[in-house]
Structure 1
Amino acid sequence: MTCWGSWANTQKLAAKNWRFELFYWDVAVGLLLFALLAAFTLGTFGAEPGGRTFLEDIQQADLQSIGYGVLGGVFWNIGSFLISAAISLAGLAIGFPIGAGLAWLGGTILGYITEINTTGSSSSNPVLLFSGMAFGIVAIYLSMVAYRRLASQRKGSSSVKGIVLAVLGGLSIAPFYTVTMYGMDPAFGLSGTGKLTPYSGVVCFALGAFLSTFVINPIFMAHPVDSEPVKITEYFKGTLTSHLWGILGGSIWMLGLVVSFISAGQNSTIAYALSNAAPLVGTSWGVFAWKEFKGAPEGTNKILTFMFLLFIAALVLITLSKS
């Protein structure tokens, strides 16, 4: 939750003139590098007795399991591009909670339905789980209300466009966790062959995200959402610091995915729900660190306070829903 709610800050910490399309090339590199680092360290030296190291796991994996991991990375990558574009237009405190919030809600519901269809039952108490989801929906709505109040003082159409991009990004990201988990073994490689351990799963996921960047990013560069088209030659003019911030951002996000998959086990629905409560963290950065609501109309702070309280209530209920 902390990693997924914080990685987007690196976009703001890069150079002010560093476009998010250029920033994202480095994010894709960071995702793949950290996934490989985790696989060749914890995923190799930490294999349980009777389990498989990373290379052994990849060698025995079937193409279907690998394909699910790669496809999960593609779904996430498309949504992440859209949410990054929304952040560049509407700010971290709005683009992130709307996009990531919808991904959180949609992914949790999809995971619950899949768990029921696969096993015939769920490890979650549906009343508590979906009560938490309801609180999350209201919290996301309040974040949109707060932004509309702030946007009323600004000129331009970036507010509407930013919200639309965030919604589309959230819907694209929603299925990524469930799709990736289809190819993974919840018993960490101890229950059979063909499936992936979490460390191999994240490498396949990162590979899907990395390769799809070469298809998706050129489209965004040629048809940007808020400025002039940008050429790939501009990427090589960036400072070392800007490149490192992007790689760090990808690494932070991938760290979140690694520990989320490790924690999932037989309770992937709850693991996803808790991990994707990242909007609480992301909104906190936008409000308190970046002061995105400074100068907002009177009463906006009360709306934000209620939003935070509802997010916290959602987290508590989701945690208690584990049967």
Structure 2
Amino acid sequence: MFIVRDLGTAIALCVVTMLGWGSWANTQKLAGKDKWPFQLYYWDYAVGVFVLGLVFLFTLGSIGASGMTGLENLSQAGGGAIGRALFSGVLFNISNILLVVAIDAVGMSVAFPVGVGLALVIGTVVSYVQTPKGSSTLLFGGVGLVVLAMIMSAIAYSKLPRKAGHGWARGVIFAVIAGCLMGSFYPQLIGAVSPDFNSAPIEAGKLTPYAALAIFGLGLLLSNFAVNTVFIKAAGLSYSEYFRGSIRLHSLGFVGGMIWMLALSANVVASGVAGPAISYALGQGATLVAAIWGVLIWREFREAPRGTMPYVISTFVGYAVGLTLIGVATL
């Protein structure tokens, strides 16, 4: 399987994660402009995640002399590891659907700093407790600045004029719930992967990163039949409407899912060198990327009153400095 051995490459993969996780939601925004409900968009997204996970399992996960091939690893995997990988997919699916609801209601520049920022804090702390690696002082100092940036983002959004029926309060609440759940999926996924997979033999019963990612994608897709169906029914939609969507609309969701899965795969592979806590925290710099998209491209603060932009700028600065500290913690 393909692995990395040097810190420079691992950090580069974390940057790929940052860009991918911070940009996939643009596909949902584009679909939303055509009045394509997020519930229908999300089906194509889930398929995109699952398909790319399978592709990586049989390509990057099955080449080279390191570790095991995908099928060889799956044949010896224990039920506990498979169960954790599946559960992580279910957990992420629930949290991500709630995040998409939040994006639909309050925009990327708020949903990401609140939801994903909270996930960063929870995921980083839990991952560090499981696998301590790097400077805890710099790591948690960076996390503290991220929390401050989240608060600045919430204050900035509170200054925007409210639109009737726009569901801003519901959007923020969903972002918070999504963040709490999302912060738990990554430690579950990493727990299914063989420790030190990039430098030691794959532990009996454990999974390679690529096998774990494929099972994660399966868990996400299967759980979507239950989780997303609830949201489809609640919105008064039907599956017949999904099949009436254009190729362009279906492609947006599929590409969005593949972008997200590419980012997760890069992050898990990088964790073998950088450590799960630091690679996850760096990857969640996606929040800064998404906020930049929301403010500069989608102009989500164009109606903000005077005095709002200092809070927006503080959000950017807090994230930038916090992520820098997290990156330095690996050295």
| Distance apart, 1:95 and its partner CA | 1.4
- Structure 2, unaligned runs of 5 or more: 1-17
Report SS of the residue matched to 1:193.
Answer: coil
| Distance apart, 1:176 and its partner CA | 0.6
Letter in 1 for 2:94: I
Which is worse superposed, 30-39 or 298-307?
Answer: 298-307
Letter in 2 for 1:75: L
TM-score by length of 2: 0.91
1:5 corresponds, among 12, 22, 28, to 22
1:293-322 C-alpha deviation (Å, 9 max, x unpaired): 112111212211111011010011111222
| Distance apart, 1:97 and its partner CA | 1.8
Report SS of the residue matched to 2:300.
Answer: coil
**Structure 1 residue aligned with 2:148:** 138
**Structure 1 residue aligned with 2:213:** 202
**Structure 2 residue aligned with 1:31:** 49
1:57 and 1:299 map into 2 onto residues whose CA distance is 56
1:4 and 1:288 map into 2 onto residues whose CA distance is 17
1:28 and 1:199 map into 2 onto residues whose CA distance is 17
1:136 and 1:60 map into 2 onto residues whose CA distance is 40
**Structure 2 residue aligned with 1:53:** 69
2:270 and 2:227 map into 1 onto residues whose CA distance is 31
2:268 and 2:167 map into 1 onto residues whose CA distance is 36
1:129 corresponds, among 115, 135, 139, to 139
| Distance apart, 1:155 and its partner CA | 3.0
Asked if residue 88 in structure 1 is aligned to residue 68 in structure 2, the reply is: no
1:236 and 1:313 map into 2 onto residues whose CA distance is 45
**Structure 1 residue aligned with 2:191:** 182
1:48 and 1:139 map into 2 onto residues whose CA distance is 44
Which is worse superposed, 239-248 or 84-93?
Answer: 84-93
Contact 2:99 2:111 in 1 (8 A): yes
| Distance apart, 1:48 and its partner CA | 2.4
| Distance apart, 1:168 and its partner CA | 0.4
| Distance apart, 1:57 and its partner CA | 1.1
1:319 and 1:237 map into 2 onto residues whose CA distance is 46
| Distance apart, 1:153 and its partner CA | 4.5
1:148 corresponds, among 129, 140, 158, to 158
Letter in 2 for 1:302: P
- Structure 1, unaligned runs of 5 or more: 116-121
2:306 and 2:165 map into 1 onto residues whose CA distance is 22
1:82-122 C-alpha deviation (Å, 9 max, x unpaired): 0000111111111122111111111111112223xxxxxx2
**Structure 2 residue aligned with 1:287:** 295
**Structure 2 residue aligned with 1:223:** 234
1:199 and 1:153 map into 2 onto residues whose CA distance is 45
| Distance apart, 1:264 and its partner CA | 0.2
1:171 and 1:26 map into 2 onto residues whose CA distance is 25
| Distance apart, 1:156 and its partner CA | 3.8
Letter in 1 for 2:38: F
Asked if residue 319 in structure 1 is aligned to residue 327 in structure 2, the reply is: yes
From the superposition, tell whether residues 157 and 250 of structure 1 become closer, same or farther in structure 2 (CA, over 3 Å).
closer
| Distance apart, 1:124 and its partner CA | 2.4
| Distance apart, 1:205 and its partner CA | 0.5
Give the root-mean-square deviation of aligned CA atoms. 1.4
| Distance apart, 1:159 and its partner CA | 1.3
1:265-302 C-alpha deviation (Å, 9 max, x unpaired): 16111111111121101111100111111121112122
2:166 and 2:24 map into 1 onto residues whose CA distance is 27
| Distance apart, 1:13 and its partner CA | 1.5
**Structure 2 residue aligned with 1:245:** 252
1:319 and 1:94 map into 2 onto residues whose CA distance is 24
Asked if residue 166 in structure 1 is aligned to residue 175 in structure 2, the reply is: yes
2:310 corresponds, among 293, 302, 305, to 302
Which 4+ residue blocks in structure 1 deviate beyond 6 angstroms?
none
Total equivalences in the alignment: 310
Which is worse superposed, 67-76 or 156-165?
Answer: 156-165
2:303 and 2:202 map into 1 onto residues whose CA distance is 56
**Structure 2 residue aligned with 1:118:** none
Which is worse superposed, 191-200 or 172-181?
Answer: 191-200
1:153 and 1:272 map into 2 onto residues whose CA distance is 34
Give aligned-pair identity as a percent.
37
TM-score by length of 1: 0.93
2:126 corresponds, among 93, 96, 110, to 110
